[in-house]
Amino acid sequence: MFLLFFKLFTADSPEKLKEESAKAGVAAEEFEAFMQFVAVFFGNMGNYLSFGDTKFVPRCEASSVAAIVAASSDKVLR
């Protein structure tokens, strides 16, 4: 997941990714939930909270995550 997010945000700024995701039909709320997940992921350097064994998942649909990744200008991620 780290490499996916790294490539995603190396290729595009969050603003550009938001614009392209909106064109692909991703709702603003879904994109915001994705960005919150990414921020918490990087804050903890994984998808577990820094205390205990609590795993966290994005609040958006898997189809929205796929659409956001597909909206990237990085051809490898498409």
The pLDDT of residue 78: 66
- Is residue 42 classed exposed, middle or buried when 0-12, 13-18 and 19+ CB atoms within 10 A define those classes? middle
- Written as one letter, the residue type at 35 is M
58 backbone dihedrals φ, ψ, rounded to 5° = -65, 150
User: Per the domain annotation, does 57 fall within a domain?
Assistant: yes
Q: Supply the pLDDT for residue 76.
A: 78
Query: What pLDDT is attached to residue 56?
Result: 80
What is the pLDDT, as a whole number, of residue 7? 92
User: Based on the structure, what is the number of domains in the chain?
Assistant: 1
pLDDT digits (tens, 9 = 90+) for 2-54: 999 999 999 999 999 999 999 999 999 999 999 999 998 898 888 787 776 77
16 CB-near residues (< 8 Å, 6+ apart) = 73
Asked whether residue 13 is assigned to any structural domain, the reply reads yes
Residue 75 lies in a domain: no
For residue 25, is it within any domain? Answer: yes
